Amino acid sequence: MATITGVLARPTAYSGVWSWLTTVDHKRIGVLYGSTALLFLLVAGLEAGVLRAQLARPDNTMVDGKTFNAMFTMHATTMIFMAIMPMSVAFFNFVVPLAIGARDVAFPRLNAFSYWVFLFGALLMHASFVVGQVPDAGWFSYANLTSRAFSPNSGLDFWSVGLLVMGSSSVAGALNFVVTIVNMRAPGMSLWRMPVFVWMTLLTSILLVLAFPVITVGLIELTMDRNFGTNFFNTTAGGDPVLWQHLFWVFGHPEVYILILPAMGIVSEVLPTFSKKPLFGYPVVIFSGIVIAIMGWAVWSHHMFTVGLGPVANSVFTITTMLIAVPTGVKIFNWIGTMWGGSLEFKTPMLFAVGFIALFIIGGLSGVSHAVSPSDFQQQDTYYIVAHIHYVLFGGSIFGVFAGIYYWFPKLTNRLLGEGLGKLHFWLMFIGMNITFFPMHFAGLDGMPRRIYTYPAGYGWEIYNMISSFGYLLLFIGFLVFAHNIFRSLKKGQEAGHDPWDAPTLEWSIASPPPAYNFAEIPHVRGRDHYWIVKREAQAAGQPAPGPEPLAAPGSVHMPSPSYWPLVTAVGVAWIGGGLMIHFDLPYIKFPISFLGGLIAFIGVVGWSNEPTSAPDAHHGGHGAAQGAQH
Amino acid sequence: MAHAAEAVHHAEATTTGLNHRKLLMWVFLGSDCLFFGALIATYMVYRGQSVNGPYPTDILNIPVTTISTFVLLCSSFAMVQALAATNRNDQKGIKIWLLATALLGTTFLLFQAYEFYTFSIGEGLYIYTNLFGSTFFTLTGFHGAHVTLGVVWLMSLFIIAFKGRLGPSTALDVEIAGLYWHFVDIVWIVIFTLVYLIGGYDAGPAATGVFIGPLSSVLPV
Amino acid sequence: MGFLPFRSRSVKGGAAGIPPQGFRPRLRRRPSLALLAAMAVLALLVACSPQSHMSTWEVFGPVARDQLQLFNVLLWVMVVVFVLVEGILLYAIIRFRRRPGQALPHQTHGNTPLEITWTIIPTILILGVGGWSVATLFRLDKPPASAGTPLEVTVTGHQWWWEFEYPNADGAGKVITTANELRVPVARPINITLHSDDVIHSFWVPKLAGKMDVIPTRTNHMWFQADATGTYYGQCAELCGVIHALMKFRVQALSQADYDAWVAGYGQPPQLSAQANQGRAVFQGAGTCTVCHTATGPDNPAVVAGRVAGFNSGGAIAPGPNLTDLATRSSFAAGTVDPLNRDNLAKWLHNPNDLKPGNHMAARAKALYQDRGSVKLSDAQVSDLIEYLLSLK
């Protein structure tokens, strides 16, 4: 044991590159997730730019079909798996331990491992651009277009192996958050006192844990079909391409809620804060979240109404899908109920939260119209669907994410993001989003199929596409304004203080940025909106509002030490995937390389399990009142 | 003493009183249920759909696999004994039962290796031969991989036990390995029932005896 | 605070980062001009929505009509809900903005009767619409018996064109194979059976009926009926590879007499000029057009099976459109080249990639085409060939 751990001296750096590579601090890992996600948001946004440029005019020949297909495939895959999901995970990481009064997540090294595996998986998939064989079968890559016969180059191998690697990261991360939320709440924080964002994190994590294995099996089957000659989706051997659709959407529909529930959680935090009023109908909001998470498993075939499952199946999925609109609608009413009678202050986070509600209503309504399968027979696979998904994922998830960034950035950095720039950003996004995506409803109802790289003049689609492409420019400028705001605020943003918004939750009771250990003393939670209770009591008693919790004496709080092993293990896992990527014609290279990856991962795991969480020579101060643990 | 996270395994106060790692294992097993669920579903959907042989009825050797199933079941018994020995600090018992569990698991794997060998080299059923080959080898192969991981885990525990570092205070380490081991065992019972006992006499698409037929008959048509 | 960019005043934090307790709102309230402008533009768009070949708004058959009817009702429900909910939201935004010196608002935590109400009302609304959709779904499953005997057509999707086979085109057992232009008699239900030889496609003629996927290993069914004669545009709606965008087709709804005449004429030996006769020789020459195409009546299933097998194993062969009635069509190359005339045929034959980049003809017909798609035949041979093709009526 000592021999293996002794190979690498325990990292000790708390700043510099090495400190980031070996960090196990949930806040720093959150920053890593967040910045990576924003980078991929930019990449996917640029890919969307190619799509909009190509479609701006009829009969455009800027790119060919192959490039166009690659662009929309990577745009969607990147947005979903490498931008929105990791952005949500960034918030899970940064916010959840702070909001439940914990010092870190349950498994800090597993958390670091999740990030590195995600990063390497994303890079692996993007390596497809380097070799010029980019995935091009759409983000749900329907079999049997994905078989070697119809997609001979390695693009889809990058896609499936990349997703497998990222999937293992998601499951590892989600396991961690389930345990953290179930097991590490501060005393007094019962489930019914948890902030809504934490609840939504819990539900999202459970969905991740249960949904990802299903797509993992689908991806394994696809990878084996393409590389080992199996017959899962081989139609000449009796394989059924529709099996892929079932596996994909059994995962894919919960995935939709994986993308939207965190944003709903963020909005449920932002609205009460800026309305100065607790969330309206907290139990109902939580309960509808639970209902959505359960019913999300019973609606997958609404993506497959035109597959020919027959009227009985289509009826069942029509009804279940329409019913899932009820808890979603209830949430919207509760958010409006929160604002009703409140004292609304339209800071940027609030603007994005209200924008979320306004746009999500549209996405929800158009969703109902294609939940109705007879009506969906006309809308399926048209731009109407593209409009819907963007109202839900852009107007929904991304607006929620931006609300969260503006809301928690001051906690992370002790600096406020610029309000003026923030508002400009919001309006560019809000207007640009509607100009880009609203005309797509019309294009779709006028019969424009999605995923076509060109269309002739005279079909009546020109005007809508031109407007959409113009809207893209606004969105892009909006993103630049946002990026500028971030960099500007990091350098010379206004100091935020520990509680700039008079917020109700625990994370605002400590200093900004939070110390490594978060809470010097683990708080005793006195109710929902704990920090409001504390502050208003002080106010009622005529005392000044409480300041941030004083910092602990140096070394008095024992925290997990940084570690190399998560990174080493992640390199091994990604290496296995990379080895599998080498084309089947070279099995004698492929397997040794993958084996080497397995060896690296194995060494990582052994080192990891033999290494104590905290370095033995770390300080053991005498600070008391932790979680009751005794030595 | 203020400890964050997983620092102290044995004296950890958690919200639910359940240890972090134990909870992690339970949630992971939930996740793994869906993994095997999807693999088994694929197998069942493709039962009787192979357009060419060999078919299950041609090659599955149910008596032999019954023996290997029995061996795996016995290993679960040994696992229970290992945990009991750990709890009562019976150092000899810990080593014997851990080793027994690992050896029984290894025996199961040898049976599987024998099965794979006779099916492929002997009977000409490879993973690419037909749908049966693809689904059978993938399903049982991933189960075998789980068993292999379990054996490696048990052997690591055995080494730790050999150094005398397992006992009541570290019984959780054994218990968690046991959770995993029993789960893998239970999954095999499902696979054995569905693939061998119920599906063992399947033939090609024209043959009868397929109770779960093509995808269109399981899923709503 | 400010609702428009750059209009807010910065909040001066209280001492030691304590949030300000007094609020300085802007008194001027103005609805967002930008939002109103955007809505006006959109309203204008709806008002002058251009005519479209593929519009789901202009329906010409019972299936599309019922589907549109359902959508129209949904649309009104959606508009009402939209106006109502966004209206309430907008009202809340304006009415409850923070005012100077405002005390802490009343801290409500919920209102159970209200919450039950807004759960039950949508549920009832949705179950109502749901019941109607289920009824529509079952009603549209098969053509009504009262509509008469349907005409059976088998549609096969290929990368990237459509094959139409009539097992009994005239009621007397005449078999017809044609491609990319589906001729049907007006006012008669058409039963469509869908197959695919390669990947998943989706058969869609918006003005006649919603789409149905075309899936290898599966047989799907749908039906439609055209109420008026005319040309209806269709297009593949499921991503099927590089030039999915160029996999179109047309439905020609003909009067019964025109349809009968087409059926009767199909497969009759064409009148060939001398030049066309030379063209036929080119067409039928060893290793040329007949490898993939048939021009002398319905396809022979065994020949087609050979082409499909050859294509799937990567051979210099592909299932090609049946050309027996080519000259009667208005367009070719799966509806992407319009009209079908001498010039366009010449362009096509010289290099198919110019008109439909990425199609299988240039790539697979290695005996006839260079790697980049230009034809190996002489100009004279090409004009003979065109003469022959234009005689195929």
Q: Nearest CA to CA, how far is A210 from chain C (Å)? A: 28
For B54-85, give the secondary structure using H, E and C.
Answer: CCHHHHCCHHHHHHHHHHHHHHHHHHHHHHHH
What is the average pLDDT across A333-350? 94
Q: By the 8 A CB rule, do A117 and A229 touch? A: no
Highest-confidence range of A258-272, A514-528, C8-22, C114-128, by mean pLDDT?
Answer: A258-272
How far away is chain A from the Cα of B202, in angstroms, using its nearest Cα? 15
SS3 B87: helix
pLDDT at B220 over 50: no
Q: Are C386 and C342 in contact (CB under 8 A)?
A: yes
Asked if the Cβ–Cβ distance from A372 to C56 is below 8 Å, we say no
Q: Hey, are the CB atoms on A243 and B128 less than 8 Å from each other?
A: no
Helix (H) or strand (E) holding C185: strand C181-185
> What residues in A contact B30, CB-CB < 8 Å?
209-210
Residue A142: predicted pLDDT:
95
Place of tokens 């331990």: A97
Instruction: Confirm or reject contact between B13 and chain A (CB < 8 A).
Output: yes
State the Cα–Cα distance between residues C353 and C372, nearest whole angstrom: 8
Is-cis flag, bond preceding C160, omega within 30?
yes
Does the beta carbon of A455 lie under 8 angstroms from any beta carbon of chain C? yes
pLDDT band at C12 (very low <50, low <70, confident <90, very high): very low
Cβ neighbourhood burial of A509 (10 Å; 0-12, 13-18, 19+):
buried
> Would the CB atoms of C71 and A375 count as touching at under 8 Å?
yes
Q: How far is B140 from chain A (nearest CA, A)?
A: 13
Q: Which residues of A touch B16 (CB under 8 A)?
A: 182-183
pLDDT given at position A556: 79
Q: What is the pLDDT of residue C34?
A: 57
Chain C residue closest to A336 (CA)? C89
Residue of A nearest to C354 (CA): A61
DSSP B110-123: HHHHHHHHIIIIIT
Give the closest-approach CA distance of A225 to chain C in angstroms. 15
Taking an 8 Å cut-off on Cβ atoms, the answer to whether C358 and A66 are in contact is: yes
The identity of residue C245, as a single letter, is A
Contacts of A211 in chain B (CB under 8 A): 34
Q: SS3 helix, strand, coil % of chain C, rounded to 5? A: 40, 15, 45
Mean pLDDT in residue range B50-60: 88
CB C236 within 8 A of CB C247: yes
Q: Report whether A428 contacts A436 (CB < 8 A).
A: no
Region B115-135 average pLDDT? 93
Query: Which chain A residues are closer than 8 Å to C38 by Cβ?
Result: 431, 434-435
CB A501 within 8 A of CB A347: yes
User: Could you tell me if B20 lies within 8 Å of chain A, comparing CB atoms?
Assistant: yes
CB B75 within 8 A of CB B185: yes
Higher pLDDT, A301 or C101: A301
**C-alpha dist (Å) from residue C360 to A94, A191, B93, C185, C353:** 53, 61, 71, 32, 9
Tokens matching residue A614: 């905290």
Q: Does B31 touch chain A (CB under 8 A)?
A: yes
d(CA A505, CA A499): 10
Size of interface A-C (CB pairs under 8 A): 362
When mean pLDDT is compared across A96-105, A237-246, A591-600, the lowest value belongs to A591-600
**Cα–Cα distance between A71 and A285 in angstroms, integer?**
38
What helix, strand, coil percent values describe chain B, rounded to 5? 70, 0, 30
What pLDDT, in 10s, does the model give residues C309-366?
888 888 889 999 999 999 999 999 999 998 999 999 999 999 998 889 888 888 888 8
C133, C236, C239 member nearest A137 (Cβ):
C239
- Residues linked to residue C185 through DSSP beta bridges, in sequence order: C254
Nearest-neighbour CA in chain C from A295: distance (Å): 15
Of the listed ranges A60-64, A366-370, A545-549, the least confidently predicted one is A545-549
Best of A176, A222, A230 to disrupt the B interface (most B CBs within 10 Å) is A230
Residue B125 per-residue DSSP state: -
* Element containing residue C233 per DSSP (H, E): strand C230-235
Mean pLDDT of chain A: 91
Chain A, nearest residue to C32 by Cα: A427
Instruction: Give chain C's radius of gyration (CA, Å).
Output: 30
Q: Do A238 and B46 touch (CB under 8 A)?
A: yes
ipTM of the complex: 0.91
Residues 87-146 of B with CB under 8 A from A: 127-128, 130-131, 133-135, 138, 142
Rounded to an integer, what distance in angstroms lies between the CA atom of residue B162 and that of residue B154?
12
Chains in contact with chain A (at least 3 beta-carbon pairs closer than 8 A)? B, C
Residue C88, Cβ neighbours under 10 Å: how many? 17
Say what percent of chain C tops pLDDT 90: 62
Q: Are C1 and A351 spatial neighbours (Cβ–Cβ below 8 Å)?
A: no
CB contact under 8 A, C115 and A336: no
Average confidence score pLDDT of chain B: 87
Where does A297-343 have alpha helices with state H?
Answer: 311-339
Q: What is the pLDDT of residue B6?
A: 39
Task: Give whole-number Cα distances, B100 to A327, B103, B104, B160, in Å.
Answer: 53, 5, 6, 15
Instruction: Report the C-alpha gap between B9 and A444 in whole angstroms.
Output: 57
Provide the phi-psi class of C187: left if phi over 0, else alpha when psi is between -120 and 50, else beta: left
First to last CA, chain B: 62
Which of A273, A356, A419, A466 to probe the C interface (max C CBs under 10 A)? A419
Asked whether C344 and C325 are in contact (CB, 8 A), the reply is no
Dihedral sign for Cα atoms in the order A356, A361, A366, A370: positive
Please tell me the least confidently modeled range out of C38-47, C213-222, C271-280, C344-353. C38-47
Q: Which residues contact A524 (CB under 8 A, 6 or more apart)?
A: A186, A187, A188
Nearest CA of chain A to the CA of C247: how many Å? 10
Chain B residues within an 8 Å CB radius of A631: 1, 3, 8, 11
pLDDT value at residue A479: 96
Rounded to an integer, what is the distance from CA C147 to the centroid of its chain?
26
- pLDDT(A40) > 90: yes
Question: If we measure between CA atoms, which residue out of C136, C167, C335, C144 comes closest to residue C225?
Answer: C144
Helix (H, G, I), strand (E, B) or coil at A280: coil
What would the pLDDT profile of A562-599 be if each residue is shown by its tens digit? 888 999 999 999 999 888 877 656 667 777 888 899 99
What whole-number distance in Å separates Cα of residue B75 and Cα of residue B69?
10
Tokens 């999915």 — which residue? C244
Instruction: Of A242, A222, A245, give the one whose Cα is nearest residue A232.
Output: A222
Residue of A nearest to C8 (CA): A420
- The per-residue pLDDT for B3 is 38
What is the C-alpha separation between A543 and B154, in angstroms, rounded? Answer: 60
pLDDT classification of C46: cutoffs 50, 70, 90 = low
The residue of C28, C57, C118, C235 whose CB has the most chain A CBs within 10 angstroms, and thus the best one to mutate to test that interface, is C118
Task: Match 């790697």 to its residue by tokens.
Answer: C371
CA distance C297 to C288: 18
A613 and B7: CB-CB below 8 Å? yes
Please give the Cα distance from C221 to A595 (Å, whole number).
Answer: 49
Tell me the whole-structure pTM to 2 decimals.
Answer: 0.91
Phi, psi dihedrals of residue A481, rounded to the nearest 5°: -60, -45
Substitution target in B10, B18, B20, B43 with the highest count of A β-carbons within 10 Å is: B20
Q: What is the pLDDT of residue C367?
A: 82
A597: left (phi over 0), alpha (psi -120 to 50) or beta: alpha
Find chains touching chain B: ≥3 CB pairs under 8 Å.
A
Per-residue pLDDT tens for A70-100?
A: 999 999 999 999 999 999 999 999 999 999 9
Cβ A110 vs Cβ A561: under 8 Å: no
| Alpha-carbon gap: A628 to the closest alpha carbon of chain C (Å) | 31
Task: Give CA separation, C208 vs A319, A422, C49, C65, C228, in Å.
Answer: 25, 48, 20, 8, 10
Q: Which residues of A are catalytic?
A: 75, 104, 139, 169-170, 253, 255, 257, 268, 302-303, 328, 331, 450
Residue B2: left if φ>0, alpha if ψ -120 to 50, beta else—which one?
beta
Share of chain A above pLDDT 70, in %: 94
Rounded to the nearest 5 percent, the helix, strand and coil shares of chain A are: 70, 0, 30
Note whether C186 and C147 are within 8 A (CB).
no
B30: nearest CB among A184, A210, A230: A210
